[in-house]
Amino acid sequence: MRIYFITATDTDAGKTMTSAALMKQYGRAHYWKPVQTGTDRDQETVRRLSGASANRLHLGLTFSEPLSPHRAAELDNQEIHLQDLDQRYEQVCYQVNASVRDAASEEEPILFIEGAGGLLVPINRQCLWPHWLQGKDLSIILVCRTGLGTINHSLLSVEAIRARNLPLAGLVFFGPENPDNQRTIQEFSGASIIGQFDVPDHPGGPGGGSAETHTWALPAALDASGLLLQSSHQKAQ
């Protein structure tokens, strides 16, 4: 199974739109958001925009306030434990593999996992996302903005990924095309570029908009080169 953890340089940088675009392109892929905070329901947005069937979407923990997972859980009088996430991760992987067996498909299954917030977001008072990610057979997809400030944010995020020996599959640029920013980040990081796309009225973009009421035009093939299907995708870059 190919497993990708979709994270970003910060919150509202385009993780859910990237997840939806990749789910649309890879029609048999599965999606799981381990932690959802606030009233947004990213799983429903991914389902609606990608056209994915319900059996390819997997439930995660939900908390009331739109805050970092550790704080949102505290305000709901709960705590997120890594072993609970691990248990759910194993269940989701089993379900993905079982669905492929049931369909008698020869295609290698793909699971996209969307993180909450950016890479160094606390899950609880002791652990950040990388604490949970380390040791798992997966690769990171980093979603980067395209505008002013993205060079610093993106390069810092790439350094944080590599400092923790997490395999980096590549970068997705979300926002209006900015060729020089994209080129600069690629040249200094040496990371592969999966693709770039924009939806102008995305909630995190300048036009605002609500994920519950809008239908955005997503690219037919965000991963145009098929990078995520290449055999070397899980080698650290």
Known catalytic residues are 33
Task: Quickly list DSSP for 43-104.
Answer: HHHHHHHH---GGGEE--EEESSSS-HHHHHHHTT----HHHHHHHHHHHHHHHHHHHHHTT
Helix (H, G, I), strand (E, B), or coil: what is residue 218? coil
Are residues 216 and 201 in contact, defined by beta-carbon separation less than 8 angstroms? yes
Task: Quickly list DSSP for 63-80.
Answer: ESSSS-HHHHHHHTT---
The Cα 232–Cα 168 span in angstroms is 11
Helix (H) or strand (E) holding 173: strand 168-174
